[in-house]
Amino acid sequence: MDDLDRNILALLSQDARMSVAVLSRRLKVARSTLQARLERLETSGVIAGYTLRLGEQGRIAHIRATVLLTIEPRSQAGILARLKAMAQVERIHTTSGRVDFLLQLATRSTAELDDTLDRIGGIEGVRSSESLIHLSTKLDRAV
């Protein structure tokens, strides 16, 4: 990956809907060159897809929480399968340190959050959980 590839990615991370024509003008490269670069970035897996990222106003109807899970040894596969089946679980990260999983949840109400936390705590192999409810976002650099 060279500077042109990095510049393409930087512009697309700001606006994934930017057209090839606009990208090529901003980067001062031929449209055919830009199209070839995009195809190479897509086929190599550097660009996995184009998506919509909601701003704070778009996410306002959701209550978000981070859940730290400690699990029994050798129970990861079964727990992952159960967590993936829950629509409220947006992200699952494995971690190093005192916890095994870091989950990000999004629910429409505190009652739904409470129910989701109960279901997570009831999964066989979950030793303990700690929930952190998100209050406000002060910085979001995630792409």
pLDDT at 37: 94
How far is it, in rounded angstroms, from Cα 67 to Cα 103?
5
Instruction: List the CATH code of the domain at 3-43.
Output: 1.10.10.10
How far is it, in rounded angstroms, from Cα 137 to Cα 143?
15
The domain defined by 56-133 carries CATH number 1.10.3720.10: no
How far is it, in rounded angstroms, from Cα 77 to Cα 100?
12
Q: Sheet with 101-107: list strands edge to edge.
A: 89-94, 101-107, 63-71, 126-133
Q: Per-residue pLDDT tens for 14-70?
A: 888 899 999 999 999 999 999 999 999 999 999 988 876 666 666 555 899 999 999
> What are the start and end residues of each CATH 3.30.70.920 domain in the chain?
56-133
Q: Residues with Cβ < 8 Å from 75, sequence gap 6 or more? A: 124, 125, 126
Better pLDDT: 75 or 53: 75
Q: Per-residue pLDDT tens for 76-134?
A: 999 999 999 999 999 999 999 999 999 999 999 999 999 999 999 999 999 999 999 99
pLDDT at 10: 87
Return the structure tokens found at 115: 């129910």
pLDDT at 139: 83
For 83, counting Cβ atoms within 10 Å of its Cβ (0-12 exposed, 13-18 middle, 19+ buried), the class is buried
Q: Which of 54, 2, 51, 48 is nearest to 29 (CA)?
A: 2
